[in-house]
């Protein structure tokens, strides 16, 4: 028989909430020490609920929950400090981070390094940092932490990645050296792969290549799933 889990005061962030029954919510919370946790917030949709005013996205929370199955019961939530909330395009990008975590991170699989990367990304977005670089750094950390990241050190022939060479990403294999005009779907320069590894993008073309590469890798592992927040960003950029 599965024993009851009781967790008190876990540091976390609300990723997503959906209505449950008449007055409750099912919430997805990303915690530092326990990973992504799903829980029922009973009565959270009632106007006078103690949970309702503190279940805020992009704000650090102290959460307590209990239960036996995969769906826990939220017993307490406290707001533990203010950060500047992302606005405008940064807000949409923050929703994109949350959607990535919900769709790619297994439940109750702790990743303290990824949690720190998420907090850093929120701080950079709230402070008006460069959004594309913030997104690329977080995407790569997520791929690395979840085991989806291809090797950035060597190509498929076990040769070191060279800055002046061009490579095609092969799902399940890594980066294969190709001619720049080979017609492969996802082409990147070795210098871009070096920038991804360093988390710092020296050239505009490097940022562009990294964006399309991340989009391809994430899309592959979503197995046909759609990221609604990213589609909204794409549509807005088109306008």
Return the domain boundaries, the chain: 5-79, 89-238
pLDDT digits (tens, 9 = 90+) for 12-56: 999 999 999 999 999 999 999 999 999 999 999 999 999 989 999
Contact by Cβ (8 Å): 99, 135: no
Q: What are phi and psi of 115, to 5 degrees?
A: -60, -45
Summarize the confidence of residues 109-137 as an average pLDDT: 94
Measured between alpha carbons, how far is residue 198 from residues 4, 13, 37, 77, 180 in Å? 43, 27, 31, 37, 23
Alpha carbon of residue 159 to chain centroid: 30
Q: Is the pLDDT of residue 156 over 90?
A: yes
Give the pLDDT confidence score for residue 186 in this predicted structure: 86
C-alpha dihedral (6, 52, 117, 86), degrees to nearest 10: 180
CB burial class (10 A; 0-12, 13-18, 19+) of residue 228? exposed
Give the pLDDT confidence score for residue 232 in this predicted structure: 63
pLDDT digits (tens, 9 = 90+) for 77-86: 999 987 788 9
Fold of 89-238: de novo design (two linked rop proteins) (1.20.1440)
> What CATH number belongs to 5-79?
2.40.50.140
Look at 16-30, 83-97, 104-118, 155-169 and tell me which has the smallest mean pLDDT: 83-97
Q: Is the pLDDT of residue 239 over 50?
A: no
Q: In sequence order, what are the beta bridge partners of 45?
A: none
pLDDT band of residue 234 (cuts 50, 70, 90) is low
Task: Please give the mean pLDDT across all residues of the chain.
Answer: 90
């Amino acid at each position: 028989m599965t024993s009851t889990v009781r967790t008190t005061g876990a540091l976390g962030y609300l990723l997503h909430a959906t209505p449950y029954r008449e007055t409750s919510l099912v919430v997805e919370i990303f915690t530092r020490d326990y990973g992504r946790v799903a829980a029922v917030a009973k009565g959270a949709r009632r106007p006078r609920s103690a949970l309702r005013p503190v279940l805020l996205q992009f704000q650090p929370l102290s959460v307590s929950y209990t239960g036996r199955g995969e769906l826990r019961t939220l017993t307490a939530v406290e707001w533990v400090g203010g950060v500047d909330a992302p606005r405008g395009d940064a807000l949409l990008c923050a929703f994109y981070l949350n959607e990535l975590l919900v769709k790619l991170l297994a439940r109750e699989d702790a990743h303290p390094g990824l949690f720190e990367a998420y907090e850093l990304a929120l701080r950079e977005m709230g402070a008006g940092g460069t959004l594309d670089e913030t997104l690329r750094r977080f995407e790569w950390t997520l791929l690395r932490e979840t085991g989806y990241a291809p090797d950035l050190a060597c190509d498929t022939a076990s040769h070191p990645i060279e800055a002046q060479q061009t490579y095609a990403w092969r799902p399940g294999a890594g980066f294969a050296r190709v001619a720049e005009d080979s017609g492969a779907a996802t082409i990147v320069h070795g210098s871009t792969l070096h920038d991804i590894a360093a988390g710092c993008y020296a050239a505009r073309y490097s940022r562009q290549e990294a964006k399309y590469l991340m989009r391809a890798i994430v899309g592959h592992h979503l197995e046909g799933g759609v990221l609604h927040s990213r589609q909204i960003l794409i549509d807005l950029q088109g306008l």
